[in-house]
Structure formats: C-alpha cells, structure tokens
C-alpha cells in the first residue's frame, strides 16, 4: 500500500490527510515566553532559527483522529511521522499529550524519543 499524502496545515495547526478526514492537532509553545501570551507561538513569532537555545519552541501534540472508516490503515502512524519529522527539521521538542502518541506510537517507534520534551530540558529553557 502506498503511503498516504500528509499535508501540513499551518493555519489550523495540524497535519492532515488530503481529504482532511484524519488529522493530528498541535499547538506551539515557547516555554521562555510563557509569561507573555501564555507561551503560544503565532505566525508573527520568531522562527526557530532566530530563537536561542534557551527559547526553543515546543510542539505539543494534542490529538490524533482517524475516522472509523479509515482505521487500521496506518494513518495515525503516518500523521505522527510527518509531525515528528516537521518538529525535528525545525529543532523543536515535542510534548506527546495525545495518548495514541505517548502510549502507542512512541513505544513502537523509540527512535523519535530524543525529541520528547522532559524535565532535563526545563532548566535550559
């Protein structure tokens, strides 16, 4: 089976299939900016390349959804790989809030674990 096309919908802060039926929602957080605007990053915020290491953007992966009619096709995994690849290419860390990501995807794909935000990074942020 051919891998489905996954599209980054920056305005909606999600990765989605072409038909928009399956998606992974996220929000961007800059921990050092938590006092301003609740730490959320907007289009006007500096890019990751412009930010210092102590002000790294974190992608909080909130929810993964695949409709019943499309379950069992590996779409959730493809959505996760697209989101983790996106975060990695932009030097972001990830918070796996979504239970599918934390309980299923990461244990089955431990190579992505180094991107996961944890307490060790907090002191440098």
Q: Residues with catalytic annotation?
A: 98
Q: How far is CA 64 from CA 17, 29, 33, 42, 69, in A?
A: 12, 18, 26, 21, 15
Nearest one of 10, 11, 31, 30 to 82, comparing CA atoms: 10
> How far apart are alpha carbons 125 and 120 in whole angstroms?
10
**Does residue 27 contact residue 42 with C-beta atoms inside 8 Å?**
no
């Amino acid at each position: 089976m051919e891998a489905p096309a996954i599209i980054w919908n920056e305005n909606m802060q999600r990765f989605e299939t072409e038909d928009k039926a399956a998606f992974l929602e996220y929000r961007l957080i800059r921990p050092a900016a938590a006092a301003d605007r609740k730490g959320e990053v907007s289009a006007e915020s500096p890019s990751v390349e412009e930010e210092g290491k102590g002000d790294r953007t974190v992608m909080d992966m909130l929810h993964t959804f695949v409709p019943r009619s499309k379950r069992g096709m590996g779409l959730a995994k493809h959505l996760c790989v697209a989101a983790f690849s996106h975060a990695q290419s932009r030097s972001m860390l990830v918070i796996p809030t979504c239970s599918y990501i934390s309980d299923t995807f990461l244990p089955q794909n431990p190579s992505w674990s180094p991107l996961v935000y944890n307490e060790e990074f907090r002191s440098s942020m």
